[in-house]
Amino acid sequence: MDLRLITEAENLQGKYVLVRASCNVPLDKGVVCNSFRLRRALPTLEYLRLEGARVIVISHIGRKTTDSLLPVYEALNKLIPISWGGRITDPAFATTREAMNDGDIVLCENLRQDTREESNEQSLVEEIAKYASIYVNDAFAEAHRDHASTLGLAQVLPAYAGITLAEEVIELMKVMQPQSPSLFLLGGAKFETKMPLVEKYLNLYDHVFVGGALANDVLKARGYEVGTSLVSDVSLAKAPFLWSEKLLLPLDVIVDGPYGVATKLLDQVAKEEKILDVGPETVLMLESYILKSKTILWNGPFGNYEQGFVEGTEAVAEMIAKATGFSVLGGGDTVASVEKLGLNKKFGFISIGGGSMLTLLEYGTTPVLQALCK
Ligand code: ADP
Ligand code: 3PG
Ligand code: MG
């Protein structure tokens, strides 16, 4: 992929540059609890600042129009000097922008507070584009979303790839053709983004393990009781992969409910109980696959880690760190749940992308990335 890199752009001094960054980070009680994506935003911001550009950072957080990037402003400001720009569509932003000096960085409010962001409406694209002469996309985590800030702006302004976005593409291309034996581990809760990928990855990888909340859908379709567990509204009963021999599923699970927290085999889950993690038998089963795999790709935690159901996810992270195969992991929540283990250097590559990482590996590109190519 021949990306137009921001480091190739000339004369940035004094220019207004819009940077689409991936600031969709997990929050705990209104405070950023994992800053991996913010740290990965720094190389491009630092570069532009030193070049003397006037940097307007745009991003999204969460999925509700009430979600705010203010907690991100607090956290990012500790890593690099920035100021708060408020909503870029508020008339007051024009004054904020006028007051910017060379090298200043302003972070604007969550673009998804405006519903035109996700529907990529031209009116929003124009309202934002008028504030800058250059657009940089460093938001690899949203490279699979055709939104105003990820695709629309690239079509009306000179568009460049940010430093982190370009690095992501180079590193992830390395696992597009996995070396056999290969293992794909998929967890988390984004049913609509991730379930369609299972079929594809069953063709690409030797084995695919589905865990986390996603597994509940598969177990339900196989006829198991999943109680009050998180499931999607879509039934997988007719999914072609349901009984695939390459598909690995949890053997046991950790449940919580009226009888307390317990480890259960699949046929022991009661209808009042909720599956919240994978169990120790599952971890043991995965160990044998992980240790022999030459390529390991992992996205999505295997339990509700925010509520303390971390054992399955942490055990898998430790095993991957020990394994000799090349490993790639990614996903906002996946990284948040394993970063505290201090194993980062033991993985081959950690992507800021979750769904975007999987989409790139599946298709080799996305419309958003295409818009940044020469
Ligand atoms: P990523 O950001 O790594 O791509 P997702 O956003 O798809 O991952 O999913 C992360 C979410 O999945 C977390 O909020 C976690 O609590 C949730 N999750 C994982 N397993 C379960 C489960 N068994 N029940 C409920 N939530 C779960
Ligand atoms: C992610 O966390 O996967 C990205 O930031 C995309 O978020 P979204 O699924 O809400 O579009
Ligand atoms: Mg997530």
* Phi-psi region at 247: left, alpha or beta (left = phi > 0; alpha = psi -120 to 50): beta
Q: Domain span at residue 68? A: 6-166
> Tokens 């997988």 belong to which residue?
236
Of all ligands present, the nearest one to the C-alpha of 337 is: 1
**d(CA 270, ligand 2 centre) in Å:** 33
Same domain, 148 and 57: yes
- Asked if pLDDT for residue 123 goes beyond 90, the answer is yes
On whether residue 259 sits in a domain, the answer given is no
Does residue 266 carry a pLDDT above 90?
Answer: yes
- 5-33 residue pLDDT tens: 999 999 999 999 999 999 999 999 999 99
DSSP string, 263-293: EEEGGG--TT-EEEEE-HHHHHHHHHHHHH-
Lowest mean pLDDT among 211-225, 300-314, 331-345: 331-345
Residue 227, pLDDT above cutoff 90: yes
How many structural domains are present in the chain?
A: 2
- Is the CB of 333 inside a 6 Å radius of any atom of ligand 1? yes
Whether 55 and 188 share a structural domain: no
Residue 270 counted as domain residue: no
62-102 pLDDT per residue, tens: 999 999 999 999 999 999 999 999 999 999 999 999 999 99
Residue range 141-162, pLDDT digits in tens: 999 999 999 999 999 999 999 9
Residues with CB under 5 A from ligand 3 (ion): 332-333
Residues 218, 100, single domain; the answer is: no
179 and 153 housed in the same domain: no
CATH number at residue 59: 3.40.50.1260
Residues 6+ apart with CB under 8 A from 166: 3, 5
Best residue among 145, 197, 337 to mutate for probing ligand 2, ranked by most atoms within 8 Å of CB: 145
3-state secondary structure of 147: coil
Check if 330 has its Cβ closer than 6 Å to any atom of ligand 1: no
State which of 166, 190, 208 marks the end of a domain: 166
One domain for residues 116 and 180: no
Q: For residue 175, is pLDDT > 90?
A: no
The answer to whether position 273 is within a domain reads: no
Task: For residues 153 and 190, state if they share a domain.
Answer: no
CB 267 within 8 A of CB 300: no
The SS3 call for residue 103 is coil
Please tell me the distance from the alpha carbon of residue 331 to that of residue 141, in angstroms, as a whole number. 8
